[in-house]
Amino acid sequence: MKIKTKDDRRVRIHLRQRKRIAGTKERPRLSVFRSVTHIYAQVIDDMSGETLVSASTIDPKLKGSFDKAVKGGNIKGAEAIGKAIAERSIEKGIKRVVFDRSGFLYHGRIRAVADAARKAGLEF
């Protein structure tokens, strides 16, 4: 795979990470994806191939509860998604996860999601 764009590089890093990271029933994978305008988080059981919990900035339930300053493209939005994914996971009985940054660098919005999820009660 030739690296021609930044997205190619990210995908290559993500594939390399996924060789080592796998979600199980006891400890599913918390996958985070960010676009320019939105951020998405999912808790995935890779053994059965199903998404257990998800949250995103385009979710109508969450979008209505955001302040004006909270958007998908900023850190406050990422913190809101981290808190929401943690709350939904704990409701389903999931307390421990494996964090998957999807090839993105661990700073900015990706780090904000992780820190907010930890504060809200998820362990990783």
* CA-CA-CA-CA dihedral for 19, 23, 24, 28, to nearest 10: 170
Predicted confidence at residue 66, as pLDDT, reads 81
Q: Could you tell me which residue, 121 or 64, shows the higher pLDDT?
A: 121
DSSP string, 50-90: EEEEEEETT-HHHHTT--SS--TTSHHHHHHHHHHHHHHHH
Going from N- to C-terminal start, the domains of the chain cover 6-119
User: Given a cut of 90, is residue 95 above it in pLDDT?
Assistant: yes
User: Given a cut of 80, is residue 1 above it in pLDDT?
Assistant: no
Extract long-range pairs of 67-76: CB within 8 Å, 24+ residues apart: 71/37, 72/35, 72/37, 72/38, 72/39, 73/36, 73/37, 73/38, 73/39, 74/109, 75/108, 75/109, 75/112
Q: Structurally, what CATH architecture does the domain formed by 6-119 represent?
A: 2-Layer Sandwich (3.30)
Could you read off the pLDDT of 112-122 as tens digits, one per residue?
A: 999 999 999 99
Using pLDDT thresholds of 50, 70 and 90, give the confidence band for residue 63: confident
